[in-house]
Amino acid sequence: MMSKGPLSTEMRPTEAGSVGRARAFAIRAHGARIRKYSEQPYVVHLDSVVRILQSFGIEAPSVLAAAYLHDTVEDTEASIADIFTAFGEEIAELVYWLIDAEQGRRKIRKMMSAWRLGRAPFDAKLIKLADFIDNTEDICRHDRHFAPVYLREKVKILAMMARFEGQRLAICPFSSRRAA
């Protein structure tokens, strides 16, 4: 977990409240956006990522709030400054590590993404793992041609995460027990 230093009360009035506020913020920011394959409202993906985390016993409000916000900066008009102002430093930092802002050819972008995620805080990695699970199920179900490419890219990212986390990643909830 990230450090538990106190945050200003005007940034985060209550821990539990931050999760609901993050969900509402994400819904407003994503607007009418829908999932590529399922044509469901985008919040369905965000709810799934949070449910996956919870199914593995991850309940930290900062992690769940960041999970709701993980695609907000890269996919909407919201900025990391907006996240910081609304939710404080701890949540904004987790979101920052999850932003795919790399540019260039796909192969180079994915390599840079692996470097970034390998060095990300453990809580950010947990969110990314839940995101991978939900996206992988969706892509494998709906796009059999792209799925092998997607899976190869994710294997490289997971390898980089494991390189930096070692045994800690191997024994994290996603690896050590099945979801409830």
- The residue from 15, 59, 74, 137 that is catalytic is 74
- Catalytic residue flag (residue 39): no
- The residue from 75, 100, 102, 153 that is catalytic is 75
Helices and strands: H and E segment counts in the chain: 11, 0
Other C-beta atoms lying within 10 Å of the C-beta of residue 107: 10
φ/ψ bin of 108: left (φ > 0), alpha (ψ from -120 to 50), beta (otherwise): alpha
Q: What are phi and psi of 177, to 5 degrees?
A: -155, 160
Place of tokens 């699970």: 133
Distances (CA, A) of 163 to 1, 32, 61, 117, 167: 18, 38, 27, 11, 9
Name every residue whose Cβ is closer than 8 Å to that of residue 89 and which is 6 or more positions away in sequence: 7, 11
CA R_g for the chain: 16
- Catalytic residue flag (residue 75): yes
Residues noted as catalytic: 74-75
